[in-house]
Amino acid sequence: MPGPSRPGADSRKENNVNLRRWSAGLLAAALFVPGLAACKSQSADSDGTAAASPTPVDPKAALFASTQEISKGNFTFTMTGGPEVNGGGTVHMPSKSAEMKMATGAASADDMSMNMHLVFIDTDSWVKLEIGGEMADAIPAFKAMKGKYQHIDRTKVKGAKNLEFDFADVDPAGSDALVKAVTDVKQTGEGAYAGTLDATKLTDSDMLDADDIKKLGDKAGALPFTAKLDGQGRLTEFTVQMPAVGDTKAYDMTVRYADYGTATPVQKPPAKQVVEASDQVYEMFKD
C-alpha cells in the first residue's frame, strides 16, 4: 500500500479510508459472514470423542456431511490466503465465546502491517490492533492503540458488523456454502477429495466474497479445490486454488479445523490492557 508523499490532513484522511476498507475486507474474508445453520443447543455427541456418522461413500455426500460438526460451535481453526495473510482462532459455544487472531503484510517504508486480536464473550467484544509501518507511525491514533484492547460499545456498532459476532452462525469461512458450490469431486485417497466448485453460486461464504468472484471473471465457474476429512468424516481442511488474475499471482486460500468438541473457552483480555474504543476504531470498521 503506497504511503503519502508528505504528511498532511488530506493524506491522513485518505489513509484512514484506505485502512478502514483494508481492515474490514480482511475481517469479512476471514470470519463474520458464515453460511451455516444456527446452533441452537449443544448436544451430547458434540464431544470430540463421540462417534460421528459413517462417512458417506458418495464423494459429494461426504463433503456435504463433513460440515455438520462445525455448526455445533466447538473447534479451533486457522486460515491462510496468499503469502501475506495468516489467521486463526477459537469458537466455543458452550461458553458463548470466540476469538480471531490475524496478521497481514510486512511493515516497510511504504506499506503497513496489521496484527489484530478480536475477542467475543457473550455480548462483550474487544479488538486489539497493532498497526506498523512508516505511514501508520505518522498517525498518532494508531500509535495510541498499541498494547491496548479496545472495548466495544454495543450501541455504537451499527454499520460496523465486523466488530460483532453472531453466535447463531459460527463458521469462520462458510465452508458449508463452499461444499454446496462443488460441481465435480472425486475421492483421491483416504479422507482426501479434489474437484472444482462454481464460485458464482456462493452467497454465504466470505472465504470468497463478491469482489473476489467478480475479479475472477470466467475463471470463477470452475475453481479447483481439495478437501480433507478426519476418521469421523469431519472437515479438517478446505483449500481453494485461486488462479492468477492481472498482477495478482496464483495462490491458495485454506481453512483448517481442529479440536472438534474439545476447544477451550476464550478468556477476557487483562483489565489493565483494556480501554474504551475510540471513535476512530468504529470508523475503521464501518461497512
Q: Which domains does the chain have, with CATH numbers?
A: 9-267 (2.50.20.20)
pTM: 0.77
In 63-200, beta strands by DSSP E: 74-81, 85-92, 97-104, 113-121, 124-132, 149-151, 182-189, 192-197
Cβ-contact 260, 67 below 8 angstroms: no
pLDDT of the residue at 1: 37
Give me the percent of the chain exceeding a pLDDT of 70.
Answer: 74
Asked if the model's pLDDT at residue 77 lies above 80, the reply is yes
Task: Label residue 31 by pLDDT band (50, 70, 90).
Answer: very low
In 10 A of CB 212, how many CB atoms? Answer: 20
Mean pLDDT score, 253-270: 97
Which residues does residue 245 pair with via DSSP β-bridges, in sequence order? 248
Lowest mean pLDDT among 4-8, 95-99, 204-208: 4-8
Task: Label residue 6 by pLDDT band (50, 70, 90).
Answer: very low
Average pLDDT, the chain: 79
Mean pLDDT score, 182-199: 97
Task: Label residue 223 by pLDDT band (50, 70, 90).
Answer: very high
pLDDT of the residue at 129: 87
Mean pLDDT score, 155-163: 75
Mean pLDDT score, 265-273: 97
Asked if the model's pLDDT at residue 237 lies above 80, the reply is yes
Residue 176, C-beta contacts closer than 8 angstroms, at least 6 positions apart: 34, 35, 36, 37, 67, 70, 71, 204, 205
